[in-house]
């Protein structure tokens, strides 16, 4: 998960307990709402959200390509 700061840069957002709880609840529902303490769903939710968090930010190749074209046109 990435957020944009006031200076326009992107940075990683922390995985919050609320986000983990929401995802764990979704996982629990998908499993048919079994009787359990929820620890397995919580752990799975945390791991899924952490995996999303560690993905590299998207690059903007199109913007770079357009900038190169503009620079060439300026010559």
Q: What is the pLDDT of residue 16?
A: 92
**Mean pLDDT over each residue of the chain, to the nearest integer:** 80
More reliable by pLDDT, 71 or 40: 40
Residue 31: which of 41, 42, 43 has the closest Cα? 41
**Confidence label for 1 from pLDDT (cuts 50, 70 and 90):** very low
Regarding pTM above 0.85, the answer is no
Q: What is the pLDDT of residue 6?
A: 55
Q: What is the pLDDT of residue 58?
A: 63
Q: What is the pLDDT of residue 53?
A: 77
Q: What is the pLDDT of residue 47?
A: 93
User: Residue 13 in contact with residue 24, Cβ under 8 Å?
Assistant: no
User: Residue 16 in contact with residue 71, Cβ under 8 Å?
Assistant: no
């Amino acid at each position: 998960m990435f957020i944009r700061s006031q200076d326009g840069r992107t940075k990683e957002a922390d995985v919050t307990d609320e986000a983990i709880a929401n995802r764990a609840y979704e996982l629990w529902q998908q499993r048919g709402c079994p009787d359990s303490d929820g620890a397995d769903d919580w752990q799975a939710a945390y791991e899924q959200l952490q995996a999303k968090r560690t993905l590299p930010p998207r690059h903007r190749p199109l913007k770079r390509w357009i900038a190169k074209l503009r620079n060439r046109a300026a010559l």
